[in-house]
Amino acid sequence: MTDNELDELLRTCPTLYHMAEQGSWPSVRRHGLLSTSALLDLYGVAGNRRDQIEAARRPEGVALSADGLEGAMVRDQKPMDDAGLARCLGGGLVPRDWYRLLNGKVFFSLTRSRLLRLLGAGSYRHRAHDVLELDTARLVAAYRAAITLSPINSGATRPFPALRGPNTFLSIEAYPYGLWQAKGRRRDERVVELAVDHAVPDVAEHVCRVTRMGGGAPDVVLFEA
């Protein structure tokens, strides 16, 4: 991606969205926005239990607890399964590799339409979530070296699994923005996911607004910068 292409992306997608568990904003504000792996570090999860959470599909959410910490929930991975991954993974990867890769990243949607699609998907549509809105340009400036971009929804294999592999997530510099432009993708779809490796510990400095959304209830603003 060239500097001009990045400028276009920032203009087109000025806000990033992260869908967190309902009630998690106070903890996120205190500890930062953590990947699954970083969350397991914080809660001291190790051994076989960690492997089951980090390197295998989670059909349901997993509750975490530890002395001195508020409870936390690791999100389920219902939109993805081993059979679908086996059909679409390349580069010598197997499903457990993909689960580990995803669990090491913090994910953001680049458009409100994709956020709303996620909020309305499957069992999520019946639950409220704390939705964080971040300034895209500020986060990119602060975390550029830790950011990778994806042209697909990397956490889903249904209904049709898009091909994926070691080069699905690429740095800003390496991302083929022009290729997706040439393929006819709209400006707001040339990058589908923005991910930060491991964690965004100072996420509160980049959050513009936090809103409780979904579950059939009216939206409630929890925080506004």
Six-digit token pair at 192?
């589908």
CB-based contact 213:129 (threshold 8 Å): yes
The two structure tokens encoding residue 110: 């680049």
Give the chain's domain count: 1
Question: What Rg do the C-alpha atoms of the chain give, in angstroms?
Answer: 17
3-state DSSP call for residue 39?
A: helix
Q: Which domain holds residue 208?
A: 3-224
Whichever domain contains 73, its CATH number is 3.90.210
Full pLDDT tens readout for the chain, 225 residues: 999 999 999 999 999 999 999 999 999 999 999 999 999 999 999 999 999 999 999 999 999 999 999 999 999 999 999 999 999 999 999 999 999 999 999 999 999 999 999 998 877 888 999 999 999 999 999 999 999 999 999 999 988 899 999 999 999 999 999 999 999 999 999 999 999 999 999 999 999 999 999 998 999 999 999
Predicted TM-score of the model (pTM):
0.95
* Structure tokens, 150: 């994806």
Helices (H), 62-220: 82-88, 95-103, 112-119, 136-143, 177-182
